Structure 1
Amino acid sequence: MKVLQFGLLIVLSYSVSAISASPEVLQLQFIDTMVKEHKFERNYIEATLAKSSKNTKILESIAKPWEAKPWHQYYPIFLTEKRLAKGLAFWQEHQHSLQRAEQQTGVPAQIIVAIIGIETFYGSYMGKYSVLDALTTLGFYYPPRATFFRSELAQLFLLAQEEKFDITQLKGSYAGAMGWGQFISSSYRHYAVDFDGDGIRDLLNNPVDAIGSVANYFKKHGWKKNQDIAFKAEVSGSNYTDYLSKSLKFKHTWQQLESNGVMLNGTQLNAKQKVKLLKFKQPTKNEYWVGLPNFYTITRYNHSPLYAMAVFQFSEQLKLAMHNVN
């Protein structure tokens, strides 16, 4: 027990030290890491970081993300006639590439089109912030997630080295996401694909590579081909509230939910099917849905049930619109 207590004290001391470290100390530690672990020249890292600036607007933006809104204020941002029309045009223009991506990965075309539409309005809004500024600001001046963003900063240096990017010229979101599908640095490195065969993985300018890369991301994160995403549900009694949680993990079976007041109209799931009960706030009452594993996969792209539901509902609108056109 004494050994465990001593070990805990060391961990706590390290954590407090890491949290309380100044931006200057964190930057020096980052430079050391890039030199020792990734074999970069110290002068290059120092000179590049010197070109970055702390951006208070980035800190303001991450403090009030759209995903903090209630559902009835969130979904109208994305589920619009304008976005639907743009999405339909994008689908028609890239129908061959979308069909090929669906055949290779099992990810439906409407999901790929929905993601790109929600992320960047089909390349129209890919971010105005310097990615370098975003990641240094959040990595050195945003304690709640500084460790994550310093890791992404390291990935950015590696990505720029591999893809021959000018690291100071990259533009993206306030969180450092880039390109048509808004990939963060690590996702770009691990999931981007050259989908048009030109020898370049270009998510910044090439919608075809973005299509293949979004599909690849979903496949690698467990997308189940020809499986449903979510079903609208009704609830009764009060036992169902025990199955609501902020965790995105699927810990319950359909049998558990059904036995505790959750009902689906016209749909029958396998009793052992892993599911998640979801609650979405409407102006006068809550709306309930039962999410299936593919819903969880969408949350791997953005860790928010609001985001995943918006993607799902937009994809259904797109699917219907495309069917009506054909």
Structure 2
Amino acid sequence: MPILRAYLAPLAVLCLSSYLIGCSTANDPVNTTQPISVAVTTPAPTPVLPEALKAEFIKTQMAQGFTKAEVETFLAKAKYNQAVIDAISRPWEAKPWHKYYPIFLTEKRLDAGLAFWKKHEKAIAKAASNYQVEPQIIVAIIGIETFYGQYTGNYPVIDALYTLGFYYEPRATFFRKEFGELMKLVKEEHLDIDSLKGSYAGAMGFGQFIPSSYRHYAVDFDGSGNRDLLKSPDDAIGSVANYFHEHGWQLNAPVALPLVNRSANAPKAKVWAGEKLHYKVSDILSPTLSLTNARDVDASQKAMLIELEQVGSKDYWLGLNNFYVITRYNRSPLYSMAVYQFSQQLKQQHDAKK
């Protein structure tokens, strides 16, 4: 994938971000021959916390060892945030591939990644060796997630998870569980809940770990005595590598292979849509859908068919186990492909400078 020279604005300040205002053309001329009507709107009232869900949450947390007073105090700190609902309703992954990848595959991000790799070479090499994960994957994840710690999110984490857990019906159960995990995490890691910021989905730090992932996969990689994914690049590096290791990453195994479709019709195999792998390579490849570059591939291994929408056409890829592991970080195949292709760019440039 060629590197685009367009220096795109960080996601945090894009006018497309659903929670920002002030991107309109304020200097547009006004037609003074017509009266100007100003619409006055009344802000929607803050939704009331459903009492049944509140009672259920208190009961669940008390079963985890918290007192009722502790849970009620934690709940009282959280506030509903409409911007969180707006943001999750318009995910970047809803874009077609040809609009999605230019956001991430830029020279600016590549340069930042190479600089990060050079600065933290020892920690990255150690993590790659300890957890058997290629270094470029570690560097790519941190670059795609937060531009190497520059954009870690400005949403109060407690508000984000509270809002999604109690007011976002499509995934309320999941986020309510994460809200409970946050309560445990704050106690275990001695985090300041009042200043804890992250993404609209409650992900934190260099690698954007949600509370449950922070609790289960974070490691103290710099030997400081605590697992600090918010301020320690080394802890983030080790934790990302550990996450991939725990989810079954296979060192030196292929990730995804480009395919060529010689038929005017779409492939017979269904495009992967987030489910567990059930196809084998032999179920996907056919006389009309084959590897772009011939190579030996175990036809019995599990695989997925990836479809990327280009302008006026579609690209197809064969996703293997390691690609599936990337989707454990973010289930979008677009995200995972961006990580993979960025990792390849990083490796090529890093190796060239040795």
Partner SS state of residue 234, structure 1: strand
Distance 1:74 1:132 in 2: 29
Equivalent AA in structure 2 for residue 129 of structure 1: Y
Work out the CA distance in 2 between the residues paired with 1:143 and 1:325: 50
> Which deviations, in whole Å up to 9, do the C-alpha atoms of 1:223-258 show, x marking residues without a partner?
001101011101133472333242443222222222
Do 2:269 and 2:305's aligned partners in 1 also have CA atoms closer than 8 Å?
no
Instruction: Say whether 1:269 aligns with 2:297.
Output: yes
| 248 and 260 in structure 1: CA distance in 2 versus 1, 3 angstrom threshold | farther
State the one-letter code of the partner of 2:341.
Answer: Q
1:109 aligns with 2:135: yes
Tell me, in whole angstroms, the C-alpha distance in 2 between the residues paired with 1:80 and 1:136: 34
Answer with 270-279 or 235-244: which moved more.
Answer: 235-244
Gaps of 5+ in 2: 1-47
- Determine the structure 1 residue equivalent to 2:244: 218
CA 1:164–1:323 in 2, change beyond 3 Å: closer, same or farther?
same
Listed one character per residue, the Cα deviations across residues 147-187 of structure 1 (whole Å, up to 9, x for unaligned) are: 00010011001111111112232110000000000000000
The match for 2:123 is 97
Match of 2:170 among 127, 141, 144: 144
Normalized against structure 1, the TM-score is what?
0.90
Give the match's secondary structure for 1:241.
coil
Q: Counterparts in 2 of 1:169-180, with a 5 A limit?
A: 169-180=195-206
The CA distance in 1 between the partners of 2:231 and 2:69, in whole Å, is: 31
Does the CA contact (< 8 Å) of 2:307 and 2:315 recur in 1? yes
The C-alpha deviation readout for 1:86-110, integer Å capped at 9, x for no partner, is 0000000011111111111111110
Match 1:297 to one of 316, 325, 330: 325
In the alignment, which of 185, 192, 198 is matched to residue 159 of structure 1? 185
How many residues are treated as equivalent by the alignment?
A: 305
2:84 paired residue number? 58
Query: CA-to-partner distance for each residue in 1:180-213, whole Å, 9 max, x for gaps?
Result: 0000000000000000111111001000000000
C-alpha offsets along residues 6-56 of structure 1, whole Å, 9 cap, x if unaligned?
xxxxxxxxxxxxxxx962321222112212x11212122212211211000
Cα separation, 1, equivalents of 2:73 and 2:277 = 46
Contact 1:177–1:185, Cα closer than 8 Å, also in 2: yes
Change (3 A) 1:216 1:245: closer
Q: Is the 8 A contact 2:307 2:314 kept in 1?
A: yes
Match of 1:196 in 2: 222
1:50-100: per-residue Cα shift (whole Å, max 9, x none)?
121100000000011101111111111110110000000000001111111
Aligned-partner residue type, residue 298 of structure 1: I
Tell me which protein shows more helix as a share of its residues.
1
Aligned residue for 2:173, secondary structure, equals helix
Aligned to 1:186: 212
Moved over 6 A (4+): none
Displacement of 1:260 in angstroms is 5.6
Q: Which SS does the other structure have where 1:287 is aligned?
A: strand
Q: Distance in 2 between matches of 1:211 and 1:225?
A: 17
Q: Distance in 2 between the 1:143 and 1:239 partners?
A: 34
Comparing 147-156 with 43-52, which one deviates more in the overlay?
A: 43-52
Asked whether the equivalents of residues 255 and 272 of structure 1 are also in contact (C-alpha less than 8 Å), the reply is yes
Determine whether 1:26 maps to 2:53. yes
- Unaligned stretches of 5+ residues in structure 1: 1-20
1:312 matched to 2:340? The reply is yes
Q: Secondary structure at the match of 1:266?
A: coil
Q: Distance in 2 between matches of 1:151 and 1:247?
A: 21
Structure 1 CA distance for aligned equivalents of residues 176 and 49 of structure 2: 14
Within the alignment, does 1:72 sit opposite 2:94 as a pair?
no
> In the alignment, is the contact (CA less than 8 A) between 1:248 and 1:296 conserved in 2?
no
1:256-284 Cα distance to aligned partner (Å, 9 max, x none) = 22236221123231221222111000011
Which amino acid letter does the alignment assign opposite residue 160 of structure 1? V
Percent identical pairs in the alignment equals 53
Could you tell me whether the CA contact under 8 Å between 1:139 and 1:146 is conserved in 2?
A: yes
Q: Matches of residues 38-49 of structure 1 in structure 2 within 5 Å?
A: 38-49=64-75
Opposite residue 246 of structure 1, the aligned amino acid is A
2:269 is paired with a residue whose SS is helix
Tell me the distance in 1 between the aligned counterparts of 2:283 and 2:275. 17
Q: Determine if the alignment matches structure 1 residue 250 to structure 2 residue 277.
A: yes
Give the TM-score normalised by structure 2. Answer: 0.83
CA distance in 2, matches of 1:136, 1:260: 51
Which residue of structure 2 aligns with residue 15 of structure 1? none
- Distance in 2 (CA, whole Å) between partners of 1:44 and 1:253 is 50
- RMSD, matched Cα: 1.4
